[in-house]
């Protein structure tokens, strides 16, 4: 077997092992510490104990959601960076997160969340979908999608959305303001198992679909003209990849809020260690993103326990620091 392929498969298996270890660590760590060796017996005993409720109702949902959201954001990041051939492009660059945040802010300010808690992710996804369609149709010219225009319009729409959110915040009541700010900073606290199951199913399904385009993404790394010569239907592929990345970002932001740096930092490190072959890097990014977000959420809920920090704060500080360190090390060498 090819030595390079063996090395890449090794990295994927190792990332899977890291994800499992981080998940077990997150289950065990908290204000009420539970030894690792007792986790399986507690879960097997079933309902009725305090430890079971802590594991099954509080920590396990956050771990599963962190796996899905972290994996989705990282997958969206590596798809977009492959399309644009730009390592600084991330899922939030296209304004999708701004649209989702605007939708949730409008929901809160008009009190629609009182109808049902499910209205928050629903309005978030509506806002994300509206931005997706707006950015897409603004850059469609005679059946051709201009990637640079897509990027620039996305950045501008993101700024407009941020300004509208600040306007809403300046006019909102104190209780509404707290809800908007906390949601914007991101959280994996989602007790509804139905939402968690839908999120995980969507993330895995989009991972499978995106993997069908791994060879097309490899061709894109050579440039659009070279990809066309290799037989890639570039316009159709760009549209489908944009839709996949947008859906990944849209449902992630609508469920967990704006969790930054996951879609930027994780794909960067995956390419450093695993390489740019999308046959491996797509899966590696999904696993690494899940492990990274679960770890950050564990820090967020334990670092100043019993209080909890928004997970977006931890991903920003930790992810930004790692990114700067990686860039500095590369410049030194």
The model's pLDDT over 298-332, given as tens digits with 9 standing for 90+, comes to 998 888 877 888 888 899 888 888 888 777 766 54
Please state, in angstroms and rounded to a whole number, the distance separating the CA atoms of residues 224 and 208.
Answer: 24
Report the DSSP pairing between strands 140-141 and 144-145: antiparallel
φ, ψ for residue 269, nearest 5 deg: -70, -35
pLDDT at 330: 62
Please state, in angstroms and rounded to a whole number, the distance separating the CA atoms of residues 329 and 185.
Answer: 30
Three-state DSSP class for 145? strand
User: % helix / strand / coil in the chain, to the nearest 5?
Assistant: 80, 0, 20
Share of the chain above pLDDT 90, in %: 20
6 pLDDT more than 70: yes
Closest among 13, 70, 130, 22 to 264, alpha carbons compared: 70
Three-state DSSP class for 29? coil
Closest among 63, 18, 14, 19 to 200, alpha carbons compared: 63
Domains and CATH numbers, the chain: 3-332 (1.10.3470.10)
Buried-state track 78-98, b at ≥16 Cβ within 10 A, e below 16: bbbbbbbeeeebbbbbbbbbb
The model's pLDDT over 54-113, given as tens digits with 9 standing for 90+, comes to 788 888 899 999 999 999 999 999 998 888 888 888 887 888 888 888 888 888 888 777
């Amino acid at each position: 077997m090819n030595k390079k392929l063996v090395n890449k498969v090794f990295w994927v298996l190792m990332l899977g092992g890291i994800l499992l270890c981080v998940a077990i660590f997150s289950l065990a760590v908290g204000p009420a510490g539970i030894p690792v060796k007792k986790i399986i017996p507690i879960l097997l005993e079933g309902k009725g104990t305090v430890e079971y409720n802590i594991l099954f109702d509080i920590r396990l949902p956050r771990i599963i959601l962190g796996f899905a959201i972290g994996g989705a954001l990282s997958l969206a990041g590596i798809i977009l960076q492959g399309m644009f051939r730009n390592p600084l492009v991330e899922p939030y660059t296209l304004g999708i997160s701004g649209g989702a945040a605007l939708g949730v802010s409008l929901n809160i300010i008009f009190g629609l969340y009182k109808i049902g808690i499910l209205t928050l992710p629903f309005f978030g996804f509506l806002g994300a979908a509206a931005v997706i369609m707006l950015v897409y149709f603004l850059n469609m010219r005679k059946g051709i999608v201009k990637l640079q225009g897509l990027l620039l319009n996305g950045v501008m729409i993101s700024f407009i959305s941020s300004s509208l959110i600040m306007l809403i915040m300046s006019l909102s009541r104190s209780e509404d303001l707290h809800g908007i700010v906390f949601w914007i900073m991101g959280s994996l606290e989602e007790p509804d198992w139905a939402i968690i199951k839908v999120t995980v199913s969507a993330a895995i399904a989009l991972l499978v679909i995106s993997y069908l385009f791994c060879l097309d993404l490899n061709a894109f790394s050579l440039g659009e003209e070279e990809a066309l010569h290799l037989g890639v239907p570039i316009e159709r592929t760009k549209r489908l990849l944009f839709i996949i990345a947008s859906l990944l970002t849209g449902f992630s932001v609508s469920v967990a809020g704006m969790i930054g740096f996951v879609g930027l930092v994780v794909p960067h490190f995956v390419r450093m260690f695993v390489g740019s072959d999308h046959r491996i890097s797509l899966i590696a990014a999904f696993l690494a993103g899940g492990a990274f977000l679960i770890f950050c959420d564990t820090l967020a809920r334990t670092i100043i326990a019993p209080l909890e920090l928004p997970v977006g704060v931890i991903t920003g500080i930790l992810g930004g620091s790692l990114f700067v360190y990686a860039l500095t090390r590369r410049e030194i060498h």
